Structure 1
Amino acid sequence: MTNDPLKAAWQQAKLPAHDDLSGLMRTRGGHPVMSRIRRQLILEGGCYILFLLVYYDFFDGHNRPLYLNIILVLSVACMLVQHVNGYLLAAGQLKAPDIVQSLQQKVRQLKQYAWLSVGSRILGWCGILLFFCSGIRWTTPKYWLLAGAGIIMAIQMVLLWQLWQRRINRINDTLLALKE
């Protein structure tokens, strides 16, 4: 028994049932953001798999060396695994005992994933370019075209890295505000 009425009311409070919003989200397919991520994963994954099913005939995979076919398949698989890993990271629940530790853990996970995301895309696109650029008779216009594609991909990777840094910095700002 306590003399503090607020503390007594807190101790006597009943926890709300988890059947309201969380049950509704479980029955309808989850959080709307997770539904969009899952839809994007299914669409992009389907496109990657479709590409792998048709590249051998459509892009003369049978006329190229085995190592180039393996590099192409591994490159596309690398990007597909990266997307699945991102979905699992977004779907993962916070497991630390308090919000500050949970956010610190999430920041560490996001930093690792940012490196994985950018790195897997670079490796994936390099493998795809290697497959499609082999066997080409190179001329000056084709070199310029390759340089343009390289510049566009480099800009995309820088923008992707900046996007991840903004996300991480936003969580770090929240973490600093909670610590103060």
Structure 2
Amino acid sequence: MTNDPLKAAWRQGTPPVHHDLQALVRAKGGHPVMSRIRRQLLLEGGSYTVFLLVYYDFFDGHTKPLYLNIILVLSVACMLVQHINGYLLAAGRMREPDILQSLQQKMRQLKQYAWLSVGSRVLGWAGILLFFCTGITWTTPKYWLLAGATVIMTIQMGLLWQLWQRRINRINETLLAFRD
């Protein structure tokens, strides 16, 4: 018997039931980060799909040469496949026997994915620009508009590259902390 009511309440309390964490996460619909990635994938994938379904009529795809239509479809498909690849990379489990090897493996995968992510976006947007810029009668304001769009896309690609470098550096710092 104790005079401290807090200790008495602690001793009378029942210990919490520990559930399997993975089962709990699955029951709640997945990890919140994975839910956001999945939502972004569905939104962008749906947008790409709608674009591919309507471009032929809305953007005069029927008047463009076949090779431009193929370039456009491949460009959009390339970006969509890269999004799916990113989701699968994020959802993939670490398969190595210990945390250090798993982080090293994830680091290699992220470095490869960063190059592919930025590269697929550059190629994708280049294909889209090629499709829309072919057949235009070019004037000075249109050249300025194209230059502005190119600058904006270059800035976006630079920011995307920096984002990936920050993520990779964070994992690298964790790896260095494990080695010390």
TM-score, structure 1 length as denominator? 0.89
Q: Supply the AA of the counterpart residue of 1:113.
A: Y
- Where does residue 82 of structure 1 map in the other structure? 82
- Where does residue 136 of structure 1 map in the other structure? 136
Q: Supply the AA of the counterpart residue of 2:136.
A: I
Cα separation, 2, equivalents of 1:171 and 1:18:
29
Cα separation, 1, equivalents of 2:22 and 2:40:
23
- Where does residue 156 of structure 1 map in the other structure? 156
Task: Evaluate the alpha carbon distance shift between residue 18 and residue 62 of structure 1 in structure 2; reply closer, same or farther with a 3 A threshold.
Answer: farther
Answering whether residue 109 of structure 2 is matched by residue 109 of structure 1, we say yes
> Secondary structure of the equivalent of 1:153?
helix
RMSD: 1.2
Shift of residue 22, structure 1, vs aligned partner: 1.4
Cα separation, 2, equivalents of 1:95 and 1:19:
23
Cα separation, 2, equivalents of 1:21 and 1:105:
24
What residue ranges of structure 1 are gaps of 5+ in the alignment? 1-16
Task: Evaluate the alpha carbon distance shift between residue 18 and residue 115 of structure 1 in structure 2; reply closer, same or farther with a 3 A threshold.
Answer: farther
TM-score, structure 2 length as denominator? 0.89
> Secondary structure of the equivalent of 1:96?
coil
Percent identical: 80
Q: Supply the AA of the counterpart residue of 1:67.
A: Y
Number of residue pairs the alignment of both structures matches? 164
- Where does residue 47 of structure 2 map in the other structure? 47
Q: Following TM superposition, where does structure 1 have runs of at least 4 consecutive aligned residues deviating by more than 6 angstroms?
A: none
Task: Evaluate the alpha carbon distance shift between residue 50 and residue 19 of structure 1 in structure 2; reply closer, same or farther with a 3 A threshold.
Answer: same
> Which residues in structure 2 correspond to 1:112-123 (within 5 Å)?
112-123=112-123
Shift of residue 19, structure 1, vs aligned partner: 4.3
- Where does residue 22 of structure 2 map in the other structure? 22
What residue ranges of structure 2 are gaps of 5+ in the alignment? 1-16
Cα separation, 2, equivalents of 1:173 and 1:89:
20
Shift of residue 18, structure 1, vs aligned partner: 8.4
Cα separation, 1, equivalents of 2:38 and 2:49:
16
1:4-31 deviation line (CA, Å, top 9, x unaligned) = xxxxxxxxxxxxx984321121123211
- Where does residue 168 of structure 2 map in the other structure? 168
Cα separation, 2, equivalents of 1:148 and 1:100:
45
